[in-house]
Structures are given as C-alpha cells and as structure tokens.
Structure 1
C-alpha cells in the first residue's frame, strides 16, 4: 500500500487542476530534462545522504562503545560530538519522507518527534530507572517502542537527567543502552542505504517511470513527488520544528518542546533541514525543469534558503535564551516569516511554473 503513496499524491494533484490551467502550464515544464533531474536527485542527493547518515551513526556507535569500556570526560565529549554529527547528517536527508524511510516505521525509529505528550521521554526514563537488558542489544531494542530507539532517546542518555552516570561506571546500563541506540541508528542507516543502492529497487523506479512502475506511471508523477518532498520538508521545518516552541512575538513560548534542546542542537538541526532542501534542488539541477525565462524562480528560492540557513546558524544554541532575548527573538521571527515565504515560493511559484498547480498544498490537500 505504501508503494502507491506517490501515485495517490500525484492523482490528487492532477484532480485539483482545472483543464485550462494544465493546458497553459504544461509547456513550461521541460519534459526532456525530467530523466536527468530524477537520476541526479537519486544519485547525487538521496543515496549519498543515507550513506552519510549510516557512516555518522556508525561513528557514534563506535564512540559509545569506547566510552562504555573506559569512561572519561574526553570520551564522553567524543560520543556527544559523534551524536551531533549524526543529528546533522539525518537533518539533511530527513526531508525524504517517502519510500523506504516511511516503511517499517524507520522514520519514527530514527527520530520520534514531536513528542507533545512526552510519551517517548517517559519510556526512556522508565527503562533507565528500571533497567531492562533487552534495551542494551540492537536486535532486542528494535522490538521495543520506536520512541526508545532513536536520536531523541540517545540525546536523553547523553544529556538528560542522570547523564553524569556515564562517567561513573564502566559498562553501566545507561551507556550500554546508549550504545545499542547508536547501533540501531547505524543499522537503520544501512538498511536505507542498501534499499536505495539496489540497482533494481527503488532507485530504478525513480529513474524509469512507466506503466508497470509501482511508484510512478509517468515522469510527471515523479516530478510531482520530487516537488512534494521540498514543500513538505519546508512545511515540517516551520510547523514541527519552529512553531513547536515559538509561534511569534506575542505567543507563549515552550523552549523545552524544541527538538534537541538538551544538547543545544535545535538550530543545527533546523539549519540542516534547510541545507537538505537546498542541496536537493542544487544537486538534481531542478532549475532545468523550467524554461530559461522562468529559472529566476529557483534562484529566488535558493536565496531564501541560504538566508534561512544563515539565520538558523546565528540563533543562540540555548533555546531558553533564544526565546527570551529580544535580539534572539528577532532572529526567530525572521525564521518564521521567511520559512512561510519559502513554502509559498516552492508550492505556488515553482509548482505553478512546472504546471503542477499554484495553491495546492502537498501536505494538507488545500
């Protein structure tokens, strides 16, 4: 059923278009460029992105194992650094919320967020309070709640209440649990990389749309999904990353609802999301889908993305500070305003220029 998600999105999209809009917009889409764009999206962005996450998670697993064997502040710092690299790698590729990433609950197992009711946090705290050895082995940890397996759980192990125990006991439960989480992340990264590296698998489906293709019947459906990745990714940053803790100048703030607030990686993650969107556009040469007279649309999107990435990198890493300091709040306001602008440029301007229908929202079906 999951394999037909792409087709369902594309079908909804087509139904939302008036015939006249389709007729007047289709010539703008440079059909000859589609095969190359799809191939580059897969080979230059998606496959390298999953490989990078797999490798960074592998480094994290190794750093945790070293820490467990002989705890020291230097080794704890190294494990935290490796965790940060894993977060950054995932943040860039997580915009690809289609295909293998959403099968077998992989996405939630890597990152269970948002956790508005604190369900995941309670489960992690519970296993730390009442140790269960099944949580210290990758093969049995995978059988537990998705909230106990991923980056959020790893962050609490490394930075949450009781993290000082990591320095007090060799091969302690908390450290071995953290090492199992890291191993699970590396395993999931390997699964994703293998799925996309298989020549006859999903990469072939992306590169060769057709009547017998379980994902895309034609090039147009594939391009619709590619643009949908960008739009949904931009909406997720605004709705699930920023507005989770900051909705504007006069609204109540919730800094402890921010992703990775304990580790100070909130804005590194947000920056990574914007960089992922930018990289997908650049690496796949998506501007080539438009005729030369319309390519300034992509240039303007690139400008907004670079501005958002710089702004995210300039916000104080301490979320408590970012929501209380007037100077920092102005940066958050910039992120809110311009992330909305990004969504409109991707959905209305770029989508409209491709003949995919201005005003359609990929995520909520407006």
Structure 2
C-alpha cells in the first residue's frame, strides 16, 4: 500500500513540476481572451469526429444486441447466451464512450435515464424488474409499451439483471422464454433510443449547427465563451462522475485512517463485471474528446503545457483502470487492487482541478472558474 501511495504522490509532484507557475497558482491566473478563430473549429471537430461517430458506434452495437437476443430466444443454448452477453458488454462499452455527452438530445424524452438508470439507491428499479419477471408481465415484452413504463425497467441495468441476475441460467433453455422476450424488448428499446440520438446529432440544422456556429442568433451559444463552457463542462462533469458516482459508491478509500471494506453491489455493472472496463472507457473517451477536438489550440502559447499535464493524467488513470481485473468483490479483497483504486481516486481529483481551474482559467473562463458552483 505504501508503494502505491508513494507512486501516487510522485505522480502528482511530477505533474505539478511540469506546470508553469501561472498554472500552479489558480488565484494568479489572468483571464485570457478566447481565440475567436480556434473555437468554432474545435466545436466542429468535437461534433464531427467524436459525438456523431460515438452515437454511430452505439447504434451499431445495439443493432448487434438485438440480433443476439433474437437468436437466443429462437434457439436458446449456452453458446447463444454467451454471444448475447458479449453483445451486452459491447453496448456497455460503446455507451460508456458517449454517455459523457449528457446534454441536448440525451436529456430530451428521458433518453439518458431510459438507456441507463443509475444509481438505483433504494433498489427501486431492481424490484420493478424482479416483479416483471415474477409476474410474467407480457406488456414488458412489447417495445412500444415497454418504453412507457418506468425508466428503470427498460435500459442497461434491467437488461444486465435479465442476463446475469438470479435465475438467468434459464435463458440457456426453453424455460427462459419469457425472460428472453423481455430482454429482447429491452434491446429493441436501446436500439431505438440510440437511433434517435444519432439522428438528432446528424441533422444538419439541428444541435450540430448550434455547436458549430456560436453567435448572437444561436439558441444555445450566444458567444464563444458559452460554447467553450459547454465543451469544457463535458470534461469537468464527467471526471466528477467517475470520481463521485462510479468509484465512491462502492469504495471511498481510507476514511479517518480506517479501511473502507467497500460495497461491491453498489458498483455499476457489477453483475456482468463491466465496472472497471466501463470506467476505463469513460476516461479514454474524455481524453479522445480533448485531443480529437483539438482543445489544446484554445490555450495561449505560454499555457500549452496544461494540455500535456492533462494528457499525462489521463494516460496514468487509464492505465490504472486497465490493471484492475475481475469481479468487484474480489478486487476489494485484494490489497494491491485496492491501492490502485486509491490511486485512481487521488488522481481523478487532480485531473478535475487541472481542467476546472487551470484549463478553464487559461482560456478565459476566469481564475478559479468553477462548474460546480454554476459559474
């Protein structure tokens, strides 16, 4: 454990040393004028090279899931169940890469919650899914009626329970007919939502037009500062999500010097062992957005080292997440893997500060700019 804490401290010292003095002292950051020429191009690349391809990948993966569940229901077997579970994990990864864009079409018609209802703090959704399975509610097997039900019974969380939860072994045989048809309806619902999201972002005069052309007549961004705030906000809020909504619920680290035993069943996707793979994809997607959009070009020439530090932290966090393997209960029982979780928690906090304070301040959002405060 001491070795990992030393490595984490060393990483922080290396990053701070690499930063110029102006970036190490948030109060000393001087507001800069955002580059008028750079911002529209950055927003356009974010849409064309990250958001649209991300939703396209999600749409394709949900189509494969529909095919897999359909085949499983027609001819149940262990291999068919394995193929369906693999397709489910594929959707989890594609969703984890684009769920960071939690705005616009994703928030309309409760699409985000319908695709992924999490966290389920009181197990309300779990109980509703279990009730559907126990009662054999045929209305849940009809996609048109399923989408009118609780958001908790029509998305990834519900499908994970269908495929991996108590009694899921029946899916490999004829006794799993109802359970399989319910899972198939969920997969069709996920495909429909993914298609709606892709169509909304591909529409030339829709949200992509608003992103690409900030200005007085723009319904979303009246100027470049508002556009930059939205784009950087994706990074800031998503790193917060990883730190506070994906890691902390199942492991909070040492508390007042006492070991946290952890709560494995509060981890997202714990049944399918997709917890850490999804977190790794979240981080990879954020780094990809940062670099694909060319966000470094928004920085003044004397502050470009901030981008290097951000990328250094992303690389270190992704590598750490990839080293954690196995069921979450086993991870929490392993001292070395727990130390890696501590490392991730420590450095997501530092990455959040880099983006929120250093990058935001350097591009003119103000010294000590805080998305958390709604500034």
Given the two structures, how large is their TM-score scaled by the length of structure 1? Answer: 0.91
Aligned partner of 2:366 in structure 1 is 357
Query: Are the equivalent residues in 1 in contact too, given 2:360–2:366 (CA < 8 A)?
Result: yes
Residue number in structure 2 paired with 1:348: 357
Runs of 4+ residues deviating >6 angstroms:
none
- CA offset at residue 276 of structure 1? 1.2
The residue number in structure 2 matching 1:102 is 107
Q: Matches of 2:183 and 2:268 in 1, distance apart?
A: 18
Secondary structure of 1:172's aligned partner: helix
Q: Secondary structure at the match of 2:31?
A: helix
2:314 matched to 1:305? yes
Summarize deviations over 1:170-194 as a string: whole Å, max 9, x none.
Answer: 7711001111111111100000000
CA distance in 1: counterparts of 2:297 and 2:139, whole angstroms: 51
- Mapped partners of 1:22, 1:184: distance in 2: 50
Q: Distance in 1 between matches of 2:110 and 2:39?
A: 30
Which of 264, 268, 286 does residue 259 from structure 1 map onto?
268
Shift in alpha-carbon separation, 1:357–1:92, aligned structure 2, 3 A:
same
What is aligned with 2:215?
210
SS at match of 1:316: coil
Q: Call closer, same or farther: CA 1:100–1:276 in 2, change over 3 Å.
A: same
Question: Residues of 1 paired with 2:163 and 2:312: CA distance?
Answer: 36
- The whole-number CA distance in structure 2 between the counterparts of 1:51 and 1:144 is 26
Separation (CA, whole Å) in 1 of partners of 2:29 and 2:298 = 17
TM-superposed CA distance for 1:234, in Å, is 0.3
Report which stretch shifted further, 246-255 or 34-43.
246-255
- Counterpart in the other structure of 1:240: 245
How far did residue 169 of structure 1 move? 1.1
Tell me if structure 1 keeps the 8 A contact 2:165–2:271: yes
Alignment RMSD (CA, Å): 1.6
Tell me: CA distance 1:179–1:363, structure 2 relative to 1, closer, same or farther (3 Å).
farther
Deviations 1:148-206, CA, capped at 9 Å, x for gaps: 01111111011000101101217711001111111111100000000000000000011
CA contact (8 A) 1:266 1:317 kept: no
Displacement, 1:23? Answer: 11
Shift of the alpha carbon at 1:292? 2.4
Aligned to 1:270: 279
Q: CA deviation at 1:22?
A: 12
Structure 1 residues 305 and 147, CA gap change in structure 2 (3 angstroms): same
Please give the alpha-carbon distance, in whole angstroms, between the structure 2 residues aligned to 1:343 and 1:141: 38
Number of the residue aligned with 2:288: 279
Preserved CA contact (<8 Å) 2:300 2:363 = no
**Is 1:197 aligned to 2:197, yes or no?**
no
CA separation in 2, counterparts of 1:61 and 1:191?
16
Deviations along 1:22-52, one digit per CA (max 9) or x if unpaired, are: 994223x322101100000000001111111
> What stretches of structure 1 of length at least 5 have no aligned partner?
1-20
Q: 1: distance between equivalents of 2:183 and 2:291?
A: 36
- Aligned pair count reads 345
Report what 1:294 is aligned to: 303
Residue 246 of structure 1 deviates from its aligned partner by 0.4
Structure 1 contact 155–262 (Cα < 8 Å) conserved: yes
Following TM superposition, by how much is the alpha carbon of 1:289 offset from its aligned partner in structure 2, in angstroms? 0.5
- What does residue 186 of structure 2 align with? 181
Q: Is the 8 A contact 1:69 1:171 kept in 2?
A: no
What is the distance in 2 between the residues matched to 1:166 and 1:361? 49
The correspondence of residues 83-102 of structure 1 with structure 2, limited to 5 A, is 83-102=88-107
Structure 2: any 5+ residue segments left out of the alignment? 1-26
**Is the 8 Å Cα contact of residues 88 and 268 (structure 1) preserved in structure 2?**
yes
1:129 matched to which residue of 2? Answer: 134
* Structure 1 residue aligned with 2:19: none
Q: 1:360 Cα deviation (Å)?
A: 3.3
**Superposition deviation, residue 252 in structure 1:** 4.4
Q: Deviations over 1:276-301 (max 9, x none)?
A: 11111011000000122211101111
TM-score (norm. length: structure 2)? 0.89
